[in-house]
Amino acid sequence: MITTDFAPGSPCWLDLGAPDVRAAAAFYGAVLGWDYESMGEGEDMEGGVFRKDGKIVAGLGKLTEEGARPAWMIYYSVTDAEATTEAVERAGGTVRVPPMDLDEWGRMAQYSDPLGGQFAVWQPGTTKGVDLVDEPGSLSWTELYTSDAAAAKEFYGSVFGWRFGDVPLPGGAGTYSLITPAGLPEERMHGGLLQLGREDLVLADGRPYWHPVFAVTDCDEAVAKVRENGGSVQMGPADAEGVGRMAVCLDPSNADFVVLKPAQG
């Protein structure tokens, strides 16, 4: 489970790069019940934060990088962004945005893994991360689709010290690898990775990509709202034993995310 103590190596923040901030705010407001709070003024909203019941659950910004696709960026908590950057480079990754201060809030950096999967880190200052996780309308899991699970485990294990536990998928469909932060028990696992063929990674032109999983109270209702508001569904809704009912969705700009009604414990 994801918690807000944000132990090193655990997800602590996420933000969406969208070509139309106003449209994205309206979509996620309708689907997840989020309220958008702009950080600027006037008609040209460049970015801000999403809140659920008054608590910050994610960020939203204007997509400005040339050639970049609309997507969610997941940030993992670290104690030293410079040291993490060195670890990324030693392990064969690429630095996309070198460590930089965001006022007194903290320090961030963005990277690509050796196969091109993009992720980020956050060294906390006055802000540790989002305010709400593992509740309906908030982040409950992170997931990597990659063409080489073994290489991904080696890279992220080297950078973050993550531990991995493999579980077979139903019907012999392969293996799903569960991710637990270094030094924490298995109940603190925060994500997973799944190997797919490059031909299945069409959203990122064959490159790996991370996406968030958002908890919802009713998966089918969330999927209906996705479709009603201009999004689409790649997979589901479907039941996964011991996990819950889920669907892989795309927002109107084709940024991917998952909605999950967790199984009752």
* Alpha carbon distance 187, 190 (integer Å): 9
What residue spans define the domains of the chain? 11-124
Q: Which two tokens stand for residue 29?
A: 């407001």
Report pLDDT digits (tens) over 222-243: 999 999 999 999 998 999 888 8
Question: What's the sign of the alpha-carbon dihedral 203, 208, 210, 211?
Answer: positive
Distance from C-alpha of 122 to C-alpha of 104, rounded to nearest angstrom: 13
Question: Contact 101/122 with Cβ under 8 angstroms?
Answer: no
Topology at the third CATH level for domain 11-124:
2,3-Dihydroxybiphenyl 1,2-Dioxygenase; domain 1 (3.10.180)
* Whole-structure pTM value: 0.95
Strand arrangement of the beta sheet that strand 47-52 belongs to: 35-38, 47-52, 55-62, 11-18, 71-77, 118-124, 106-112, 94-102
Q: pLDDT per residue over 118-173, tens digit each?
A: 999 999 999 999 999 999 999 999 999 999 999 999 999 999 999 999 998 877 77
The Cα 247–Cα 260 span in angstroms is: 7
Token couple for 182: 């270094």
Q: What is the 3-state secondary structure (H, E, C) of 181-241?
A: CCCCCHHHCCEEEEECCHHHCHHHCCCCEEEEEEECCCHHHHHHHHHHCCCEEEEEEEEEC
